[in-house]
Amino acid sequence: MTETRIDRRFASLKSEGRPALVTFMTAGDPDPATTLALLKALPGAGADVIELGMPFSDPMADGPAIQAAGLRALKGGQTLVKTLDLVREFRKTDDATPIVLMGYYNPIYQHGSEAFVADAKAAGVDGLIIVDLPPEADDELCLPALEAGLNFIRLATPTTDDKRLPAVLANTSGFVYYVSINGITGSAAPDASRVAESVARIKRHTHLPVSVGFGVRTAEQAAAIGANADGVVVGSAIVSAVAASLDSEGRATPATVPAVLALVSDLAGGVRAARKSVAA
């Protein structure tokens, strides 16, 4: 498979000696213009990889914050096609920052897997994280995506034991997303030392970068987790910042974009400090 923006980004951060900050937000939350403004500003605020959530009516693996973000987006009329439009627009001004689409399978299945893969690639998407497609279902989307040159990023969890890990990693590319807790997004913070052990365990099975997410909210946590991981994913905290900035009708305000960027800058400081204490 040819090198993707994700591969290049993790390679360059490795030479910088720091983990990636991977930010998540839901496309169209609360409206497409806000998402586009955020997309354009996030790299400058320190986001290294951008995960864009494709809203789904039944987000079974998500906690209240991301559920609410998805409902806001759907209420605003967001669709899979409109999400691809946002990526296409973003690519006009940024050809370096990797974009990963994250979501559930049904909207893609309705669009048609082959058509989706082609449309996503053409729009400038680099990778996919589809929560409800385990390796047992690789023929549905994973294999066509790999063939088209998109990374297919798999979640590994504490329940993924050493026996199962090779199957999970077999068709994974770009990076491995280690879910640090058994739970839904936005749950309690993970224990950094246990996470370090788990990352080490996964790295015994793969050369891919390992990013860690679920429950990371603050710069301090990002620094602690990032000390032993190749990337730190922050999602619920960011969509919560969006939610807190909205007016009483749920619309974006002048405070929305600055609030998110302030949080991301802070988190970026965290990942940049991650290895310093270790080195010292």
Partner 1 sequence: MTAPVQPNSYKTGPDERGYFGIYGGRFVAETLMPLILELQQAYDDAKADPAFHAELQALSTYYAGRPSKLYFAEGLTKHLGGARIFFKREDLNHTGSHKINNCLGQILLAKRMGKTRIIAETGAGQHGVASATVAARFGLPCVVYMGATDVERQAPNVFRMKLLGATVNPVTAGNGTLKDAMNEALRDWVSNVEDTYYLIGTAAGPHPYPELVRDFQSVIGTEARAQMLEQEGRLPDMIIAAVGGGSNAIGLFHPFLDDKDVEIVGVEAGGHGIDVENGHAASMTGGRPGVLHGNRTYLLQDADGQILEGHSVSAGLDYPGVGPEHSWLRDTGRVQYVPIVDQEALDAFQLCTRVEGIIPALESAHAIAEAVKRAPTMGKDKTIIVNLSGRGDKDVHTVGKLLGMDI
Q: Nearest distance from residue 140's CB to partner 1, in Å?
A: 8
Check residue 192 for interaction with partner 1 (CB under 8 A): no
Check residue 134 for interaction with partner 1 (CB under 8 A): yes
Residue 119 appears among annotated catalytic residues: no
- Per-residue contact track with partner 1, 205 to 234, x per CB under 8 A? ------------------------------
Check residue 184 for interaction with partner 1 (CB under 8 A): yes
Q: Nearest distance from residue 26's CB to partner 1, in Å?
A: 14
Among 12, 106, 193, 277, binds partner 1 (CB under 8 A): 106
Element (H, E) at 80: helix 80-91
Q: How far is 256 from 245, CA to CA, in rounded Å?
A: 5
- Evaluated on CA atoms 108, 111, 112, 117, the torsion sign reads negative
Residue numbers 136-155 binding partner 1 by CB under 8 A: 136-137, 154-155
Residue 62 appears among annotated catalytic residues: yes
Q: How far is 224 from 202, CA to CA, in rounded Å?
A: 18
Residues 6+ apart with CB under 8 A from 64: 186
User: From the candidates 7, 29, 48, 62, which is the catalytic residue?
Assistant: 62
Among 168, 229, 233, 257, binds partner 1 (CB under 8 A): 168
| DSSP-derived pairing of the beta strands 49-53 and 210-213 | unpaired
User: From the candidates 7, 29, 48, 51, which is the catalytic residue?
Assistant: 51
The site that binds partner 1 (CB under 8 A) totals a number of residues, namely 41
Cα-to-chain-centroid distance, residue 52: 7
SS3 (DSSP) at 11: helix
Please, are residues 198 and 180 in contact by the beta-carbon 8 Å criterion? yes
Q: Nearest distance from residue 107's CB to partner 1, in Å?
A: 4
Q: Nearest distance from residue 155's CB to partner 1, in Å?
A: 5
Q: Nearest distance from residue 138's CB to partner 1, in Å?
A: 12
Check residue 108 for interaction with partner 1 (CB under 8 A): yes
- Per-residue contact track with partner 1, 109 to 128, x per CB under 8 A? xxx-----------------
Check residue 80 for interaction with partner 1 (CB under 8 A): yes
Check residue 63 for interaction with partner 1 (CB under 8 A): yes
Please, are residues 10 and 20 in contact by the beta-carbon 8 Å criterion? yes
3-state helix, strand and coil shares in percent for the chain, rounded to the nearest 5: 50, 15, 40
Among 162, 156, 164, smallest CA distance to 195 is for 156
Torsion of CA 42, 227, 216, 231, to 10 degrees: 50
- Identify the residue whose tokens are 């929305």: 256
22 beta partners = 49, 233
Q: What does the binding site for partner 1 look like in residue numbers (CB under 8 A)?
A: 56-61, 63, 67, 74, 79-81, 104-111, 131-134, 136-137, 154-161, 164, 168, 179, 182-184, 187
Active site residues: 51, 62
